[in-house]
Amino acid sequence: MDILNGLMQGFSVALTPMNLAMCFLGCLLGTIVGVLPGLGPPATIAMLLPLTFKMDPTGAMIMLAGIYYGAKYGGSTTSILLNVPGESSSVVTCLDGYQMARQGRAGAALGISAIASFVAGTIGTVLLMLVAPPLAKLSLAFSSPEYFALMVLGLAMVVLLAGDSLTKALLAMTFGLWIAGMGTDLFTATSRFTFGQTELLGGIDFVIVAIGIFAVGEVMANMEPEKPLDMLPVPKGLKNLFPTLQDLKDCRFAFMNGSIIGFFIGVLPGAGATISSFLSYGLEKAVSKHPEKFGTGVIEGVAAPEGANNADTAGALVPLLTLGIPGSGTTAILLAALVLWGFKPGPMFIEDSPAMFWGLVASMYIGNVVLLILNLPLVTVFAQLLRMPGYVMYPLILGVSMVGIYTINSSVFQLCLLAVFGLVGYAMRKLDFPTAPLVLGLVLGDSMEKALRQSLMMSQGDLSILFRPIPAVLLSIAAFLLIVPLIKKFNSVRAQVIDKEA
Amino acid sequence: MSSFTRKGDFWAGLVMAALGVFVVTQAYGWDYMTEDGPGAGFFPLWYGIVMVVLSLLLVAGAVLKEGAKAKTVRWDDMRRAMTCWIAFSVCVGIIKFVGFMLAFGLLIWFIIAIMFGRPQRIALPYAIGGAVGFYALFTLALELQLPVGTLF
């Protein structure tokens, strides 16, 4: 009953003309950034975040969330027509989507992708609505040691699943912790890592790092010479975009598979949409009557991963809103946005800010309908965006980034920091350092240090406070997650040595 | 040049190790533990040590790894990206003097005319249109303040 009342309240918030407009704008921008390879939701959300400071926070959150899940819809268009994923989570869609397009079935592939995204996005939102309130109640029992352990576990999972190298992921995380530690220590008023600059006494604004790494770094990476892209045509006419009844029948399991796997993988910090789309594709192939045809253009191979990467976004909002723990770079930026607007994501978030939580949930139902409408008849228009030359897009991104940073507190010094972090972001891309652990380390670093120090103050320096049942379990899982790959690595090195000796 | 010095991991590890040493030495100067609990140096000391250890592992990996498994730095690929970054940095640097509109207009012109080699009949209208468009959108429509220079 609480959920039903909450949802009614949410629709009364989301259906106001302004919030409907924000939802539409977010979905439109999300589709556009999803279609464009090289411009992702973290960069877009980070760039637009400073511009939302004067807006109503609920409307702004509805728009930013629309960008987040809208990009997942748009990402498939590029995968199907160009064999280049618009988003990392659409990589798997290339396998069968592009093959379908080559066989003249681009319309059916784009259509099933939009339908699967709609079904899974809606089921994911239902699950978010059902899972988040009880989880928030459960986490009310948490205090500083539990939060510290939870944040360590979140970081461990992100580190574990980010990139090929555990060492680089851990280094990126410690770099994020270092940036988070800059400024005045709130416990002792000590200035840390300020290099004598008064501008750094308040620390470095998260938005500067996020825009620098995601937007400026991405533009720099895209400046490198690349081969021209060869795009397959989109069939004209709406009826050519609708899959046949047989196609829909073939995909009925894929819709459910994508929805369930996507949502639950999304809940896990660090796992993310790419892993959920790979898993759902693998499961679809495993249970298929014709697994050998996967990769040659089967429609279930498009429906399952596209569904999964959309349900994932609803799943990722569960730990963000109920525990205040983001699981990816994008949700970390959303967390920062909520904090900047004065909200406190965590166990009390749903009770303290029902209009924001339920308004967001209701807007996601509306957004999924908007995206289905946008992505079916207008896919030809969005596909034309792929012909936009880089020299038009890149200066725009750099300009919006500069304006975004300057509006925070009218400081040219912060623009200089933006340039520095742009270079850092580019270097990380070139050297295969994952960016998600850095962003998470930065977002969680301050809270993590606070939670640890509060825990040790509670226990007068006794570390055994971290070994109460809940933190002990969480920290053990985190340690296990970080140690297992090392053992695996050790074993593979040992096996190689034995092989060589033999 | 030895093969490992061509590897990005080697240099990245050295830079991160230097940063780690800096973090640890700074943290030593702050209180580790106070009467009220952990001090300002407690947390940085630990992640600083972790940073140093991991960086050295990265350097060791680059030195010891056989063959060209680790990524090598390809300076040619980076030239355009670095040119773009320098142009962006110069734009940020001159904003204080010439203001946002002129600095941003110059950046657009540089990217289109110099980096992408487009003719002036494309570069100039885009540069002027972009700068004026940003002013119209952000200053006039959204009432946000753009950087103003001492000259303009």
User: In A, which residues are within 8 Å of B85 by CB distance?
Assistant: 216, 220, 419, 422-423, 426
Per-residue pLDDT band for B21 (boundaries 50, 70, 90) equals: very high
Cα separation, A114 vs A247, in Å, equals 13
**B98 touching A (Cβ < 8 Å):** no
Side-chain half-sphere CA neighbours of B48 within 13 A: 18
* B133: nearest CA partner in chain A: A396
Report the pLDDT averaged over residues A397-422: 89
Which of B23, B16, B27 lies closest to B57, judged by CA? B16
Question: Cβ separation of B51 and A406 shorter than 8 Å?
Answer: no
Question: Cβ separation of A225 and B80 shorter than 8 Å?
Answer: yes
Q: What is the pLDDT of residue B53?
A: 95
Q: What is the pLDDT of residue A251?
A: 86
User: In A, which residues are within 8 Å of B42 by CB distance?
Assistant: 453
Which residues have a Cβ under 8 Å from the Cβ of A488 and sit 6 or more positions away? none
* Phi, psi for residue A224 in degrees, rounded to 5: -65, 145
Per-residue pLDDT band for A211 (boundaries 50, 70, 90) equals: confident
A422 close to B85: Cβ distance less than 8 angstroms: yes
User: In A, which residues are within 8 Å of B142 by CB distance?
Assistant: 51
Cα separation, A259 vs A280, in Å, equals 9
Question: Cβ separation of A415 and B92 shorter than 8 Å?
Answer: yes
Which residues have a Cβ under 8 Å from the Cβ of A215 and sit 6 or more positions away? A43, A46, A47, A397, A398, A400, A401, A422
Q: What is the pLDDT of residue A153?
A: 84
Mean pLDDT across chain A: 84
- Please give the structure tokens belonging to residue A272: 């993310």
Among the residues of A162-296, which ranges form H helices? 166-180, 206-210, 217-222, 245-250, 252-267, 272-287
Residue A428 has pLDDT above 80, yes or no: yes
B27 close to A449: Cβ distance less than 8 angstroms: no
Per-residue pLDDT band for A218 (boundaries 50, 70, 90) equals: confident
User: In B, which residues are within 8 Å of A433 by CB distance?
Assistant: 12
Most confident segment among A81-95, A240-254, A359-373, A389-403? A359-373
Report the pLDDT averaged over residues A135-146: 83
Per-residue pLDDT tens for A307-348?
Answer: 988 898 899 899 889 888 887 778 888 988 898 888 888 888
Question: Cβ separation of A395 and B107 shorter than 8 Å?
Answer: yes
A18 close to A190: Cβ distance less than 8 angstroms: no
Residue A502 has pLDDT above 60, yes or no: no
Side-chain half-sphere CA neighbours of A483 within 13 A: 6
Residue A222 has pLDDT above 90, yes or no: no
Cα separation, B43 vs A184, in Å, equals 14
Q: Which of A186-190, A268-272, A376-380, B9-13 has the lowest mean pLDDT?
A: A268-272
A455 close to A466: Cβ distance less than 8 angstroms: yes
* Phi, psi for residue B106 in degrees, rounded to 5: -65, -40
* B61: nearest CA partner in chain A: A167
Report the pLDDT averaged over residues A135-163: 80
- Mode of pairing for the β-strands spanning A183-184 and B33-34: unpaired
Per-residue pLDDT band for A456 (boundaries 50, 70, 90) equals: confident
* Phi, psi for residue A162 in degrees, rounded to 5: -95, 115
Distance from CA of A259 to the nearest CA of B (A): 37
- Mode of pairing for the β-strands spanning B37-38 and B33-34: antiparallel
Per-residue pLDDT tens for B102-139?
Answer: 999 999 999 999 998 899 999 999 999 999 999 998 88
